[in-house]
Amino acid sequence: MLNKIIFPFLKGAAMGAANVIPGVSGGTIALITGIFERLINAIKSFDGTAFKLLLKGKLKEFAAYTDMFFLLYLFAGVFAAILSLARLLEYLFENHPIYVWAFFFGLVLASVWFVARTVRKWHAAAVISFLVGASIAISISVLTPAGEDRSFYYLFLCGVVAICSMILPGLSGSFVLVLMGNYQLVMIDAVNNFDLSILLPVGIGAVVGLIVFSRFLSWLMKRFPNSTIALLSGFILGSLGILWPWKTEITQTFGDKVKVIAYDWHLPEVNTEFVLALVFIILGIVSIAITEIWADKTQTEDY
């Protein structure tokens, strides 16, 4: 019972905390805690068969087919973390940004190793996939934001890309919306005014993207497991630039909110602050090591 309720909730809480952090994806946490493939398979199970079971009132079979309780406990943890940690992280980022970034830099740095080591065979395709993943993530972090576009098809594409980036380790959905030029339009204006002409195509894109992309990822994990994990490892490695503690944020104002659109990186000065930041990097690495030990012990029981 503990493994079926508490552990999914705690892993969901970790994912929720990651989603609060600028530039960090909950998919990264799902991957390093050993539930990424299960999450993808659960999402893709909402198909015609699931719909028929629901219509026939076979709720028990529907819950088993879709791994419903796992999803419920997981997303309960996600929302609990977002509600409880948002203000704390906001305070920490305002008052101790370098130490917070340092901790998460160490956390994600260690994640690259622990995820990459699950690749059973580093053949040429896996190495290329790793490099491609890293290159894509790095490119996204240095892109110049595009201009606003209200066309239906572009809004649909925004929904698809945003939801896919939220699932993928190393990519932030809100950051991608900034790069596509529609963050203010979608997340500020449309949400505040409940503008269905904007929200509807984005929502349709998000649903279609989630269903199609989860199936695609599941297929990749089964058909090309080594290359897929290598690709995801590359995404995580490429996201380290966003987490580098010593940087200046380049921001843009969206209504009453200020959003980071790029970064100006620099090397640190060797002082007390630098030493403390190294300590937090080590703490981040240790945290992932502990998480991996926990995941190794519980992953089999979770299933």
CA distance 125 to 119: 12
Quickly state the pLDDT bin for 237 (edges 50, 70, 90).
Answer: confident
67 to 64, 129, 181, 237: CA distances (angstroms)? 5, 30, 36, 31
Give, to the nearest 10 degrees, the angle between helix 196-223 and helix 225-238: 130
Whether the per-residue pLDDT at 117 is higher than 80: the answer is yes
> How many helices (H) and strands (E) would you count in the chain?
16, 2
263 vs 74, higher pLDDT: 74
The token pair at 71 is: 């999803």
Which among 13, 69, 118, 19 is positioned nearest to 302, based on CA atoms? 69
Quickly state the pLDDT bin for 302 (edges 50, 70, 90).
Answer: very low
Quickly state the pLDDT bin for 255 (edges 50, 70, 90).
Answer: low
Whether the per-residue pLDDT at 72 is higher than 90: the answer is yes
> Residue 279 CB: number of other CB atoms within 10 A?
14
Cut 0.75: pTM above it: no
CA distance 125 to 281: 32
Q: What average pLDDT score do residues 214-230 get?
A: 88
Q: What average pLDDT score do residues 63-67 get?
A: 92
Q: What average pLDDT score do residues 147-163 get?
A: 86
